[in-house]
Amino acid sequence: MTEPDRPAHPDPRAGSESVVVTDVVAARPSGPDTLERDRPGTAPTAEGWTTSEPATDWTWDGATADEQPPAGQAGDERAGDEQSEDERSGEPEADRARRRRELPSAATVLAGLRSQGWLAALPLLAALLWTLGFLGADPREMGSFGLLSLFTVGVVAGLLVLVGGFLTSLYRNKREWVLGLYLVTYIALIHGTPAVLYGTLRYSWAYKHVGIVDYILRTGTVDPTIAVGEIYHNWPGFFAAGALLTSLSGSPDALRIATWAPVVFNLMNLVVLRYVYRGLTRSKRLIWLGLLFFFIINWVGQDYFSPQAMAYVLYLACIGLLIRRTRLKTHLLVPFVLIVAVVSASHQITPMMLTLAITALVVLRRTSGWYLPVLGGVLVAAWAFTAARDYTVPNIMELVVGLGQPVSNANETLEKTSGIAAGSQLVVIWGGRGVVVLATVLALVGAWRSWRVRGLRVTAILLMVLPGMLVLMTGFGGEVLFRAFLFAAPFIAFLAAAACLPRDGRGFPWRNLVVTAVVTAMLLPGFLLGYYGKERQNYFTPAEVSALTWVQENARPGSLLVEGSRNYPTQFKNYERFVYVPIDREPEGSWREMLADPATKLDGWLSDPRYTDAYVLITRSQKIAVDTTGSMPIGSLEDIELALRQSPDFRVAYDSGDAVIFELANREGR
């Protein structure tokens, strides 16, 4: 009997080729190349699909080795016991990552809110107290301490609740969104209150910038050879962007946008600075305490509608990009080039600081890429000597003269405040300086403690010290010390925060909480003085704005505008049509002649046939500024106004109560 045909032995090792796998692999679309390390679950092999243990660190964001602070660098901290509630829950990382990617449901959001407890609701209470505290406040009644003179118990209570709640949340290691809510509320209250309370745009320089935007909107271009405001036309990046935003919003001008610019720029600073700090450390408490300190030491007030505010955000972002990665990969080079190019086309001193920082970071091996300083320098020089050559070439000697003159450059800033008349303003000035001194001392303590325990936080210390080199390079019109502090402030705040936290970076004992609270209590009054102390002269009434609108709309091109001082809502419309002569910037001999016989002196100026029309403008805010700064004797502008009102040679062309515009009674007949 023959044996029936034996079927093939069911050897599980034999089998068909994994055709499907091959085809599948071939057909796989381009995707992240995180094959061997990051792919979860099953993985194709030569034999076909096999099941393996799922990778525990799978995320769609791929490898994160480069996201960590480079090993051995300053601030190389890990979470340690600074574990978030997520990490303490024991939930696998893959599940946490998946949960982060998914949008939370309403129930999840509510559960999250409840879990954070009453601390998450405190910002609302603080905002309520602050708002109630300012109810009925009249900005016209601001005294010599500016907006501080309008503070009530409710306002102070709101601020204390806000800052106290933040520190408590930090102590209790609450979620980042809770801490962020506090700082967002802080920014909205501190920087949004003038916008709501005044009803007009504050600060005369903001109006000038609105005027550049107005020029672009009217003409569709910039004129690098223009006589007035030429520097803005040579570095037009910010103004062009502002013009595009204004056009798209449908507004006739940028006044409304500029009014809220401080809030927007500070919110940008918040998110970008957090990005920077996460490149120095992963300690949540250090990051957020550093952020708080930054917003209570940065009284310099360069957050208004200005090119430096935008350039500052981009400067921080570029620093964050460099310090986070030890090697700048190709696809990160594009953001680097983009940011440096925009900064180069928008401002003058920020590109200098940025190039300095890039060079220092590369030379001291905080980041790699020898070509980065070269690239940055080329981009800066390219703009300066091509599109901006009409300004750069004639003024280059001014820059060269300032090189290597730190004392002279610093004195330019200090001399600006030397003529302060009122004692209250001296308190304001020294309040701001006190913040600088205290914060810097704390930062040095933080640097020293870090050096003893965890190695030098070289990067943060470097970036704190580096802006001092600006003083070696230029006086920047008497502003260099302010700007140097502004660039150093983020890293002063970071190191000061490090001084308040435990040396080993673990936990937040109550002793450190007390120290932090005391430090905050010492810094906050100085910040309020520095930031709000000059609001009396920075506030412009609607009547002043309406007077300026009248003259800017009615005066013919080529008109002369004699102004009491530059502190008023100036040059925000048709600005290029006027020739501006501020009385308080005349040589002392000239304004003394003016004070002796204002009508005769001004008659001579306004009769000049070179001008189509001629006006004298005296406003409430100009008088306050002259009396406060001491540029002329107290009451000088009141005397000039009185003399012109009494003179038969002059008549009032427009009087809004807070601003009066004079013209010659019979100019055409002369």
Partner 1 sequence: MSTHSPVRDRIPLVAGLGAGHALAVVGALALALALALDAPAVRMIAALAICLVLPGLGWARRLRLRDLGDTVAMTVVLSVSLTAVVATAMAVAGTWSAYGGLGMLIGIAVLGFVPVRSVAARTSAVVLGRSTYRPRRRQVPVDAGETDDGWTDWYADARARSDEERRRREAEAAAAEQEWRDWYAESQGRLTPDRPERWGTAESAPRDDQHAPKAGADKRD
Only one of the segments 327-335, 482-490, 510-518, 629-637 lies at the binding site for partner 1 (rule: CB under 8 A); that segment is: 327-335
Identity of residue 338? L
* Residue 226 contacts partner 1 per CB under 8 A: no
Which residues neighbour 318 within 8 Å (Cβ) at sequence distance 6 or greater? 336, 339, 340, 343, 354, 357, 358
Q: Figure out which of the listed residues 110, 111, 338, 665 binds partner 1, where binding follows CB under 8 A.
A: 338
Residue 108 touching partner 1 (CB under 8 A): no
Query: H-helix or E-strand containing 527?
Result: helix 510-532
Q: Is 104 in the site for partner 1 (CB under 8 A)?
A: no
Minimum gap (Å) between residue 472 Cβ and partner 1: 29
* 507 sits near partner 1 (criterion: CB under 8 A): no
Is residue 518 involved in binding partner 1 (CB under 8 A)?
Answer: no
Window contacting partner 1 (CB under 8 A); options: 336-344, 357-365, 524-532, 640-648: 336-344
3-class DSSP state of 501: coil
Please report how close the Cβ of residue 335 comes to partner 1 at its closest, in angstroms: 6
Q: Which stretch binds partner 1 (CB under 8 A): 337-345, 519-527, 583-591, 645-653?
A: 337-345
| 143 or 335: CB nearest partner 1 | 335
Rounded Cα–Cα distance for residues 483 and 496 (Å) = 19
Q: Any idea which residue has 């909480």 for tokens?
A: 513
Give the SS3 label for residue 660. strand
Considering only 331, 511, 610, 670, the residue that binds partner 1 (CB under 8 A) is 331
Task: Provide the token pair at 596.
Answer: 């002796």
- Nearest distance from residue 46's CB to partner 1, in Å? 14
Tokens 């800052």 locate to 163
Within 557-586, the residues that bind partner 1 by CB under 8 A are none
Write the DSSP string, 403-467: TT-HHHHHHHHHHHTTT--SHHHHHHHHHHHHHHHHHHHHHHHHHHHHHHHT---HHHHHHHHGG
> To the nearest whole angstrom, how small is the minimum distance from the Cβ of residue 250 to partner 1?
5
150's tokens: 């309008």
55 backbone φψ class: left, alpha, beta (φ>0; ψ -120 to 50)? beta
Mask for 267-296, x = binds partner 1 (CB under 8 A)? -x--xx-xx--x------------------
Q: Does the protein bind partner 1 through residue 209 (CB under 8 A)?
A: no
Q: How far is the CB of 610 from partner 1 (least distance, A)?
A: 29
Angle at 54 between CA 325 and CA 326, to 5 degrees: 5
At 665 the three-state DSSP class reads coil
Identify the residue among 74, 122, 292, 342 touching partner 1 (CB under 8 A).
342
Which of residues 72, 90, 220, 669 is near partner 1 by CB under 8 A? Answer: 220
Alpha helices, DSSP H only, in 533-635? 535-538, 542-554, 588-596, 598-606, 620-629
316: Cβ contacts below 8 Å, ≥ 6 apart: 269, 272, 273, 275, 276, 490
CB of 216 to partner 1, least distance (A): 6
Task: Using alpha carbons, list the distances in angstroms from residue 646 to 147, 333, 650, 661, 669.
Answer: 35, 67, 8, 14, 21
User: Is 42 or 666 the residue whose CB approaches partner 1 more closely?
Assistant: 42
Binding mask 236-265 for partner 1 (x = CB under 8 A): xxxxxx-xxx-xxxxx----xx------x-
How many residues touch partner 1 under the rule CB under 8 A: the total is: 90
Q: Which of 161, 183, 222, 372 binds partner 1 (CB under 8 A)?
A: 222
Site for partner 1 in 138-157 (CB under 8 A): none
Q: Which of residues 345-384 bind partner 1 (CB under 8 A)?
A: 345-346
Note the Cα 191 to chain centre separation in Å: 12
CA 412 to chain CA mean position, Å: 24
* Residue 86: φ, ψ to 5°: -60, -45
Q: State which of positions 3-42 bind partner 1 (CB under 8 A).
A: 3-4, 6-10, 12, 15-16, 18, 20-21, 24-38, 41-42
Residue type at position 74? A
Q: According to the binding rule CB under 8 A, does residue 91 interact with partner 1? A: no
Applying the rule CB under 8 A, the residues between 158 and 187 that interact with partner 1 are 176, 180
Q: Binding partner 1 by CB under 8 A: which of 94, 132, 332, 438?
A: 332
The structure tokens listed for 660 are 């009066």
Q: Residue length, the chain? A: 670
Does residue 59 touch partner 1 according to CB under 8 A?
A: yes
Question: Least distance to partner 1 from the beta carbon of 332, Å?
Answer: 7
Residue 20 or 124 having the CB closest to partner 1: 20
> At residue 250, what are phi and psi to the nearest 5 degrees?
80, 5
Of residues 403-442, those binding partner 1 (CB under 8 A):
none
